[in-house]
Chain A
Amino acid sequence: GESVGLHLPTLSVQEGDNSIINCAYSNSASDYFIWYKQESGKGPQFIIDIRSNMDKRQGQRVTVLLNKTVKHLSLQIAATQPGDSAVYFCAERSVGRGFQKLVFGTGTRLLVSP
């Protein structure tokens, strides 16, 4: 069945380092991918998205890369800050019958040390 998963459950970095969070997906028909940040006890917060007709998209301190050949998605965070500590989820939009339910992958916990 469809699945979106992450390679590493926990990533520990030092403040100021660049962080890379990876995600693999299995539904080659997916057309839209999103990264969410979730802090403890809060709802997922939209970070950045990318459509399947793109390979790269940049935001403020974040970059998402999409490799459709190997069905891989990554989130790069530049100059990681303690406030970036959270669980990060990639999500795939299921095109299904034309509606937009999200299929989430297993989250990766990012720990940023001062």
Chain B
Amino acid sequence: AAGVIQSPRHLIKEKRETATLKCYPIPRHDTVYWYQQGPGQDPQFLISFYEKMQSDKGSIPDRFSAQQFSDYHSELNMSSLELGDSALYFCASSQRGFGDTQYFGPGTRLTVL
């Protein structure tokens, strides 16, 4: 079965640079979620989109923005990167009205030097 696809899988950036993470949800899934997981920590919710509209917002820094496109893929844009932004970034998708179970992608490991 098709799973959530994330790209790139690994990303290395310098402080103050920008980064763009991409997420392709499971086909027919209409909701996308972004989570950040620091080393040894549990995933923290950042933001979600349903039908291309922001549906919920968590602890996402103002330096980050995200959107969902007409084909339902989503991008997380991160600017003025800081050392503390180094983490695993997961995207999850679900289908509203069909259990809403969130299925996670493999993640993007972002390292800020």
Min CB gap B25→A, angstroms: 13
Q: Contacts A49-B101, A100-B102: A89 and B42 contacting too (C-beta < 8 A)?
A: yes
* Residue pair A103, B56 in contact (C-beta under 8 Å): no
Contact of B94 among A96, A100, A106, A107 (CB under 8 A): A100
1/0 per position for A94-105, CB-CB distance to B under 8 A? 001101111111
Write out the residue numbers on chain A whose beta carbons fall within 8 Å of the beta carbon of B35. 102
* Residue pair A104, B31 in contact (C-beta under 8 Å): no
* Residue pair B107, A42 in contact (C-beta under 8 Å): yes
Distance A49 CA – B94 CA, assembled complex (angstroms): 14
- The prevalent SS among residues of B at the interface is strand
Q: Is the CB of B27 closer than 8 A to any CB of chain A?
A: no
Write out the residue numbers on chain B whose beta carbons fall within 8 Å of the beta carbon of A34. 101-102
* Residue pair B45, A101 in contact (C-beta under 8 Å): yes
Min CB gap A105→B, angstroms: 6
Can you pick out 13 interface pairs between chain A and chain B where the beta carbons lie within 8 Å of each other?
A41-B109, A42-B106, A42-B107, A43-B107, A46-B101, A89-B43, A99-B55, A100-B48, A100-B102, A102-B43, A102-B45, A103-B45, A106-B42
